[in-house]
Amino acid sequence: MDLTGKTLWQVGAGDTERSYGDICKKLDVMIVGPGDPGAYAEEQYSNIGDVRNSIRRFYKEARQGDIVLLRLGTGEVLAVGEIEDDTAEWLEVFSDVDGWDLQHARRVRWFSNTSITFPAKTLGGQVRTFAAVNVAQVRAWVESLEISDVDRKRELSQLPATGASLDSTELGKRLFIEGLPSEHVDKLMATFASLQRVASWYSNETKRPVDRPSEHETVCYLVIPLLMSLGWSQQTMAVQWKFVDVALFREMPSTNATLACVVEAKLLGSSVFYPFGQARDYALQKDRESCDKLVITDGIRYALYRRSGNDFTLEAYLNILKMREAYPMLNCGGAIHAIIGMAR
C-alpha cells in the first residue's frame, strides 16, 4: 500500500469491553465523539478538553484517500481502510452506540485481512481519539500490505436509517395501542419519569458522588423498579439467585424449570452487549429450557435477547434517556418492543 502523499491516521474503536469496531467495519465508517453538542463548529466544541483537537483533525485535516487504522487499545489494529469522502458529517444514527454518542462520521472502505496486534503502547501510551501515526514500524507494515482490486472497488455499505425518537407521551400512546391497559400505562409512565430523573443524575459526572452507583445500587434504584412496573413481583423476581443478578420466574416455586428470564446487571456505562456470553451460559444451564429471554443492563440501557433453539438473538434495545422506536443499526426493535418483551 503506497503512502506517498497520504497521511496515516488512527481512530479509536472503543475499549476491549465496549468496542464498536464491528459496527465501523460493517457500515464502512469511522465515528468519533462526543457528538451531543450538535453539528460541528469549532467554537461549539471548544470546551470539551483535548478531544476537541481530535474532532478538529477529523473534520479539517483528514483528506479523501488518506489511510486509517481502526485501533483498539494501544497496539491492536482491527482493520486498515481508506477515507472515501471529502469531509465528515454529523449523523444522528450514531447518537447511541452502546451508550456512546459518536455522531461525527466519515466513510471509510475497510479492507479485509488487515488486522494485526503490535506490542502494547506501539500506537502511543495515551492514544488520542483521532491522530496521525508516525511510528516507523507501523508505517512499514501498512506499506507492506497488498490490497486486492476487489477490496478497493467494492461498494460501500449503505448506512442504516435513524429510528424515530419517542418521548414519554408518544411511548404511552403506543403502548396503549399495543394492548396495555390504560392504568398499567399510567403506572409505567410515572415509573419512567422517576427513573429518568435518577438516571440523569447518575449520568451527570460532575454532580453525582464519586464511585456511585455501584452495581448493587443500580439494581436497587433502576432495574428493580422498572421490572416491578412491568408486572414482576417480589415472588417472581429473585435477586442474586444462583449467580444470576436478577432471575425472573414464570410461576412459583422459584426453580430452574420455572426460570423465564436471566437479567445480567453491570456497572453504569458498561457494555450491554459484551456480557452476552456470560448471560447466555446462565440461561443454557441444565433444566433451564423454559428460560427464553435474556436482559443485559447497566440500569439505563437494556438489551433484550430472545431464545432461538440453543442460542439467543438480539430482539430489542432500550435507553431510558434516549428512547427510540427501532434501531436499524442493530437490526432490532426499540423501546416499545423492549418494554413489551420484558413485561410479565
User: pLDDT category, 42, cuts 50, 70, 90?
Assistant: confident
What average pLDDT does range 148-155 have in this prediction?
Answer: 93
Whole-angstrom distance, CA of residue 84 vs CA of residue 94 = 19
Whole-angstrom distance, CA of residue 139 vs CA of residue 133 = 8
Nearest residue to 323 (alpha-carbon basis) of 172, 222, 190: 172
pLDDT, residue 309, reads: 87
Which residues fall within 8 angstroms of residue 32, CB to CB, at 6 or more apart? Answer: 11, 12, 54, 55, 58, 102, 104, 129, 130
pLDDT, residue 48, reads: 86
pLDDT, residue 133, reads: 95
Nearest residue to 222 (alpha-carbon basis) of 176, 266, 270: 266
What pTM, to 2 d.p., does this model score?
Answer: 0.92
pLDDT, residue 16, reads: 85
The terminus-to-terminus CA distance of the chain in angstroms comes to 56
pLDDT, residue 341, reads: 96
Q: What is the DSSP annotation of 245-297?
A: EEEEESSSS--GGGEEEEEEE--TT--SSTTHHHHHHHHTSTT-TT--EEEEE
Q: CA neighbours within 13 Å on the CB side: how many for 113?
A: 8
pLDDT, residue 152, reads: 93
- Do residues 254 and 234 touch, judged by C-beta distance below 8 A? no
CB 273: neighbour CB atoms within 10 A?
19
What average pLDDT does range 298-327 have in this prediction?
Answer: 95
Mean per-residue pLDDT of the chain: 94
pLDDT in tens, 181-224: 898 899 999 999 999 999 999 988 788 878 889 999 999 999 99
Environment class of residue 89 by beta-carbon count within 10 Å: exposed (0-12), middle (13-18) or buried (19+)?
Answer: middle
Least confident of 64-73, 122-131, 320-329: 122-131
pLDDT, residue 206, reads: 81
Question: Is the pLDDT score of 126 beyond 80?
Answer: no
Least confident of 66-80, 120-134, 308-322: 120-134
User: pLDDT category, 293, cuts 50, 70, 90?
Assistant: very high
pLDDT in tens, 49-105: 889 999 999 999 999 999 999 999 999 999 999 999 999 999 999 999 999 999 999
What average pLDDT does range 314-340 have in this prediction?
Answer: 96
What average pLDDT does range 19-41 have in this prediction?
Answer: 95
User: pLDDT category, 3, cuts 50, 70, 90?
Assistant: very high
pLDDT, residue 47, reads: 84
Our measurement of the distance from residue 74's CA atom to the centroid of its chain's CA atoms, rounded to an integer in Å, reads 21
Question: Is the pLDDT score of 17 beyond 80?
Answer: yes
Question: Is the pLDDT score of 8 beyond 90?
Answer: yes
Question: Is the pLDDT score of 125 beyond 80?
Answer: no
pLDDT in tens, 237-274: 999 999 999 999 999 999 999 999 999 999 999 999 99
- Do residues 273 and 264 touch, judged by C-beta distance below 8 A? no
What average pLDDT does range 279-296 have in this prediction?
Answer: 95
User: pLDDT category, 138, cuts 50, 70, 90?
Assistant: very high
pLDDT, residue 143, reads: 97
User: pLDDT category, 130, cuts 50, 70, 90?
Assistant: very high
Fold adopted by 8-153 = ph1033 like fold (3.10.590)
pLDDT, residue 50, reads: 87
Nearest residue to 99 (alpha-carbon basis) of 299, 244, 336: 299
Nearest residue to 238 (alpha-carbon basis) of 317, 229, 227, 230: 227
